[in-house]
Amino acid sequence: MTGETRSIPGFDSERTNVDVYLAKHRPQNQSTVGNGYPFNPTLRVHFSNTANEYREPLETQDWWGLPYIETYSWEESEEHDRSVQSHHRSEGNEFVISDDELNAKLAKSKVHFYKLYPEGKLYNVHCLDGGAWDRPTDWRHVSYAG
């Protein structure tokens, strides 16, 4: 992560650094759809894993109760799963699986992804609404047949 950061409480009494809330992250600086809902907004790197009580006041004011939409392709989903496995391997934790197991898991996941989202795109509606203490709430996952 590059740029300015600030320190907030993390897990196990440790502190963690998160990126700061900037003008580029504000709702009025995002592309919108429908009735003004942010679409694929530029959010802080740690927006989705910052406890609500440690958010900057302006971020909470701007995003509280405002639904936003993010899209994900199968390729992005696969990249995420590979990245998570890479992290597990670097940590040497109990979640490490072999390349064959990972590829088999991804093959099953791909079939499931395209069954749910035949157009190859997942539209995920989130909202910072207090439904979760440490992240925005997932309101809905949908496929769009345009």
- Residue 27 confidence (pLDDT): 98
- Residue 82, sorted as left (phi over 0), alpha (psi -120 to 50) or beta, turns out to be alpha
What's the pTM value of the predicted model, to 2 decimals?
0.79
Cα separations in angstroms, 88 against 4, 14, 78, 96: 27, 20, 15, 6
Q: Is the pLDDT of residue 8 over 90?
A: no
Digit-coded pLDDT (tens) for 85-109: 998 999 898 999 999 999 999 999 9
More confident residue, 146 or 78: 78
Return the amino acid letter for 101. E
Question: pLDDT tens, 17-70?
Answer: 888 999 999 999 999 999 999 999 999 988 998 999 999 999 999 999 999 999
For residue 1, what is the DSSP state? -
